[in-house]
Amino acid sequence: MKYILLTCILFLSISFSSLAQQEVIVKGKVTDAKKEPLIGVSISISNMPGLGTITDVNGNYTIKMPPYQTLVFNYIGFDKQEVLVKEQRVVNVVLKESEASVLNEVVITATGAEKKIAVTGAITTVDVRQLKSNPSTSIADALAGVVPGIQAMQTSGRPGSVSEFWVRSISTFGASNAALVLIDGFERDMNEINVEDVESFTVLKDASATAIYGSRGANGVILIKTKRGKEGKVNINAKVEGFYSTLTKLPQFVDGYQYASMANEAKIARNQEPLFSTTELEILRLGLDPDLFPNVNWQDVLLRNGAKSQRSMLNMSGGGKTARYFLSGSYQNQEGIYKVDNALKDYNTNANFHRYTYRLSVDMDITKTTLLSGGISGSLRKQNDPGVGTDAIWTALMGYNAITAPLVYSDGRIPADDDGNTNADDDINRFNPWVQGTMTGYRENWNNNIQTTLNLNQKLDFITKGLQFIGRFGYDTYNDNWINRYKNPELWDVSRYRNNGELVFKRIKEEQKMTQSAGSNGEKREFFEWETQYSRAFGAHTFGAVLKYNQQAKIFTQNIGADLKNGISRRLQGLAGRANYNFKSRYFFDFNFGYTGSENFHKDYRFGFFPAISGAWNVGEERIIKELGFVDMFKIRYSHGITGNDNLGRDIRFPYLYTIEQMTGGGYNFGDFDSSNPWTGMRYSSVASPDVTWEIATKQDLGLDYSFFRDKLSGTIDLFKESRDGIYMSRDYLPGIVGLESNPSANVGKVEVQGIDGNIALKRRVLGIDLTLRGNLTYSKNKIIERDEENTIYTYRLQEGHRVGQARGLIDLGLFRDYEDIRNSPRQTFGEVMPGDIKYKDVNGDGIVNDADIVAIGATTRPNLTYGFGTSARWKGLDINMHFQGVGKSTYFINGTSVYMFSLGENWGNVLTDMANSNRWKLGENEDPNADFPRLTYGPNSNNYRSSTFWLRDGSYLRLKTLDIGYSLPKAFVNKAHLNNARLFLIGTNLLTFSSFKLWDPELGSSDGKAYPLNRTLSAGISVSL
């Protein structure tokens, strides 16, 4: 090995020295327009491999090079300059500061890059830097409050989990509301991608921008373009980060003594015998019986204070005139928050997550007019979990109170709670959290995915100027495998009393040695596209046209089961086009269309035509406005068009076909009475819905893009309106006389959405500090216009006229004051009531309170308003970036075993400290009709424990989502280390949260808090480029 290495080094040095013989030394100085020397300018030789060199503190450089080559000078913020070196040995260069202006800003659209000024649709380009500070592995987690027009919700903090997000608004209740995500032009998983590989991130929101995607663009489209190599010297970037995450907010529960005292209080409040005798309470207080009256804080037992993670990334890019490359790799690991049994050496039970990604792309100029690009990228994601899974753990962590069971009985037996249910799946929720976390084996889950892309771009100027042809081909494979290795120890439940001092044990589960189960899912996708583009300017007139054909197929390759349908590819096909015209960059007209088909529909309804027109008037280019001097851009745009949605939500295929099955229950009997001679016939188990087709979204968008005072103030405002027709849903209310066994589906629903989104940015330089203030907002309101639902005499009970997912419940009028109050109030039909129970409003005035009094209350769980604002400041090498994110118009009910105290009775369910110590109704102590919580009940209470405004909580919050402090080491210092740039940074995520809801993290949107909370993360790292 040593010898091989030595030989290599020897050969290398020989080749270097042989090269050196023909080289000349070139020196020079690089300055800016003001003659100030520029430090760290990267200088490379065109079409030559190697790192090149950089200028020193005084702007001087020296480089060895063969003569008659071109030197390339690159510096961030300055225009690239190339100098051909002939005989001269001193090359002094003055670099021109590049003019970063909105006018030159480029936006990626469905048909390629376009100048922002020419865009007529509602398109948001996201600053990728803002996405990078998020510690999560998924880009989706970084979107909320950063991107105007995107609303997102992070419902779990578990490593590897991803946010749910949607563009602008949820405008359908039938089919899927997920946006179409295209990476490098093809439909791919956003979580696949390493944020450092992203070149641009664009959200297409209105019909004109998405019409080209035809039957799939209705929910908005996200375009992600990955980085590609650029001509020049090798560019290496590396970044290493370490994270420390703690949970933002864990529900806090009372200790054993308070739990037992309140259990007694609950019993007494309902005229029942107390659960614990005074002697038992005393024993509990003194901690004298750790078996029967333990006092365990399960969160302390199972959860760490914090978890650590690392992320590292390396990419290289460069190339010459004829070929360019980009190569990147990243690794990230997130540690789960569970404590592990240190004695367990063979495997890890923590909820860990690892992700490796790689990406390689090459661009080759085969001829002067032909560009061939190829790319391959992939990822491996590996997720670990305790044997019972994370959901079971959080169920138990919230369900186990301090006295349910000890960690281990004093004789070494392992406890579990017996719910009396023999269903095995149910049982794993009842193991105590420590057993679940450490004694049930472990699960592993891998995802490995590979994406391949090949592009051919041929300029056809020889036919006519401005014409080009692009062909794209993609082939992706997705595989995921899981192995569950489950075991459990022998588990015991003990009765809550002693028999002559001895514990009364019952074994509830026998020991199970480790068993293994495994499975896999696989999928492959094929894409093919060709595109002809034409763009040419004739004086003041600019024309452009695009015609595009695309097809794609997706097929399951593993775990396809016996259903023949699963072996058939899911295919889509479409033709799309665009024509645009502009006059003097002032007046823009665009026509887009998509003609696409989906195999989901009968051939008569398969293809649909989705046109959109849009126009823009760039007022800023008018002479009068131009003369004002301060307007860089002021553009009004409007679009109107239709797009579709072919995703039927549930995994339904070919709804236009019927299903025939054998009859159940004997069939037809032949023969006389009492002689059994049945023949089973055939029956329709589901009837065909041959007329089913896609949802149609008719969208309008009125937008304004502006930029004033040389970009000091810029922003966008969009007003949008959408009407979604033909929402696919099942006809649940057909009369029985029709005689159907299953409910057919049809395009019957209709939803309307209106809203606004926009952003604003303010840039100033004050006292040498570059300051940016920015804000963005998305607000939308949807309304169901039509829906297949049961007729009712009370129209307020219909979902029609309300939001999609509107919360519904009774209206509370506080608590009953006394029996007099109960007698004088409308009769409540949910069960016996006492003073201190919740009093409801009799909405329809019929004298009784029942389900007919349920009305729409509050808003929806998913927020209708998302906003973000932040500031960045840069001073010398120091930069600070602060970003706040908030949501509004979100409400949800709280319920479950910890909110409904003692609702499940003995052993199960917990009492939240905040609730226990709140101003709650107490018999004889605090009989306040306006108390925060009603009279306690031990066991279920069908009057109090139901959805009503009493349990409705405001889910709005504002949080300091990220705080990013960076320090770029001084150039002089960095250059000595032959680096281009080095930055140290500290990032904090979810540092502060402001919300009126205190019980758990409001962003989870959880009704019972039984979820892995979000993380508060501190990270520190270093990024280096050379």
Partner 1 sequence: MINKYLSDLYRQIPWTLFSIIFLCLGSCKEEEIKQEVGFDSSRPVVISDFYPKEGGSGSSLVVYGDNFGNDLSKIKVVIGGKSAKVIGVKNNSLYCIIPETAYNGDIQVSIMDGAKEVAQAAAKENFSYTRKWLVSTFLGKYYEVATDFQEKEGPFNDCGAFKGITWLSFDPKNRNHLYFTGDRNSARLIDFEKQYVSYFRTNFDRVSVIDWRIDGNQDLIVSHNHAVDNKYGNYLFSRESNFTQNKAIEVYSRGVNGTMVHPQNGELYYSRFRAGDIRRYDFTTKEDKLAFSNPYSGVAVYMVVHPSGDYAYLMEYDRHYIMRSDYDREKKIFKVPYTVCGLAANTGGYADGVGTSARLNNPVQGVFVKNPDYRETGGDQYDFYFCDRSNHAIRILTPQGRVSTFAGRGNNGTSGYANGDLRTEARFNAPQAIAYDEEKNCFYIGDSNNWLIRKIAKEE
Residues near partner 1 (CB under 8 A) are: 242-244, 273-275, 277-280, 282-283, 286-291, 304-305, 308, 310, 492, 495-502, 504-507, 510, 876, 878, 967, 969, 984-986, 1018-1022
Closest approach of partner 1 to the CB of residue 354, in Å: 17
Closest approach of partner 1 to the CB of residue 505, in Å: 4
The tokens describing 382, both together, are 């590996």
Strand partners, 543: 536, 581
Closest approach of partner 1 to the CB of residue 984, in Å: 4
Strand partners, 581: 543, 589
Burial zone of 217 (CB within 10 Å; 0-12 exposed, 13-18 middle, 19+ buried): buried
533: Cα separation from own chain's centroid:
34
Closest approach of partner 1 to the CB of residue 259, in Å: 16
Cβ proximity to partner 1: between 379 and 1015 the closer is: 1015
Structural element, H or E, at residue 589: strand 587-598
Alpha-carbon gap, residue 779 to 89, rounded angstroms: 62
Closest approach of partner 1 to the CB of residue 408, in Å: 15
Cβ proximity to partner 1: between 19 and 286 the closer is: 286
Angle CA 400–405–410, to nearest 5: 155
Closest approach of partner 1 to the CB of residue 977, in Å: 13
Structural element, H or E, at residue 10: helix 2-20
Cβ proximity to partner 1: between 501 and 561 the closer is: 501
Closest CA to 870 of 961, 773, 959, 966: 773
Phi, psi of 1017 (to 5 degrees): -120, 135
b/e code 8-33 from CB counts within 10 Å (16+ = b): eeeeeeeeeeeeeeeeeebebbbbbe
**DSSP E strands, 731-864:** 745-766, 769-786, 806-809, 812-815, 827-828, 838-840, 848-849, 855-860
Length of the chain: 1026
The tokens describing 621, both together, are 């280019």
Alpha-carbon gap, residue 930 to 899, rounded angstroms: 18
Taking a C-beta distance cutoff of 8 angstroms, is the pair 218, 1008 a contact?
Answer: no
Closest approach of partner 1 to the CB of residue 965, in Å: 8
DSSP secondary structure, 561-626, as one string:
-S-GGGGSPEEEEEEEEEEEEEETTTEEEEEEEEEEEETTS-GGGSEEEEEEEEEEEEGGGSHHHH
Taking a C-beta distance cutoff of 8 angstroms, is the pair 332, 310 a contact?
Answer: yes
Strands 695-708 and 713-730: antiparallel
Closest approach of partner 1 to the CB of residue 416, in Å: 14
Cβ proximity to partner 1: between 220 and 1021 the closer is: 1021
Cβ proximity to partner 1: between 56 and 241 the closer is: 241
CA neighbours closer than 13 Å in the CB half-sphere of residue 988: 12
The tokens describing 752, both together, are 């309307």
Cβ proximity to partner 1: between 483 and 1022 the closer is: 1022
Q: What is the 3-state secondary structure (H, E, C) of 134-172?
A: CCCCCHHHHCCCCCCCEEEECCCCCCCCCCEEEECCCCC
Closest approach of partner 1 to the CB of residue 609, in Å: 56
The tokens describing 430, both together, are 């009842």
Closest approach of partner 1 to the CB of residue 185, in Å: 39
Cβ proximity to partner 1: between 33 and 504 the closer is: 504
Phi, psi of 13 (to 5 degrees): -65, -35
Cβ proximity to partner 1: between 597 and 988 the closer is: 988
Cβ proximity to partner 1: between 274 and 522 the closer is: 274
One-letter amino acid at 454 equals L
Closest approach of partner 1 to the CB of residue 265, in Å: 14
Alpha-carbon gap, residue 279 to 285, rounded angstroms: 10
Closest approach of partner 1 to the CB of residue 752, in Å: 50
DSSP secondary structure, 982-994, as one string:
EEEEEEEEEEEEE
Cβ proximity to partner 1: between 238 and 579 the closer is: 238
Alpha-carbon gap, residue 260 to 658, rounded angstroms: 58
The tokens describing 696, both together, are 């149609």
Strand partners, 78: 97
Closest approach of partner 1 to the CB of residue 500, in Å: 5
3-state secondary structure of 226: strand
Strands 631-645 and 695-708: antiparallel
Closest approach of partner 1 to the CB of residue 506, in Å: 6
Closest approach of partner 1 to the CB of residue 906, in Å: 9
Alpha-carbon gap, residue 780 to 866, rounded angstroms: 9
Closest approach of partner 1 to the CB of residue 240, in Å: 8
Cβ proximity to partner 1: between 310 and 686 the closer is: 310
Closest approach of partner 1 to the CB of residue 490, in Å: 9
One-letter amino acid at 412 equals G
Cβ proximity to partner 1: between 510 and 651 the closer is: 510
Cβ proximity to partner 1: between 244 and 581 the closer is: 244
Angle CA 567–573–574, to nearest 5: 165
Phi, psi of 295 (to 5 degrees): -140, 85
Cβ proximity to partner 1: between 268 and 657 the closer is: 268
Closest approach of partner 1 to the CB of residue 339, in Å: 9
Cβ proximity to partner 1: between 281 and 777 the closer is: 281
Unique residue bearing structure tokens 């905040």: 914
Write the CB contacts of 719 (distance below 8 Å, at least 6 apart in sequence). 701, 702, 703, 755, 756
Alpha-carbon gap, residue 53 to 42, rounded angstroms: 6
Cβ proximity to partner 1: between 280 and 695 the closer is: 280
CA neighbours closer than 13 Å in the CB half-sphere of residue 627: 2
Cβ proximity to partner 1: between 268 and 454 the closer is: 268
Cβ proximity to partner 1: between 281 and 435 the closer is: 281
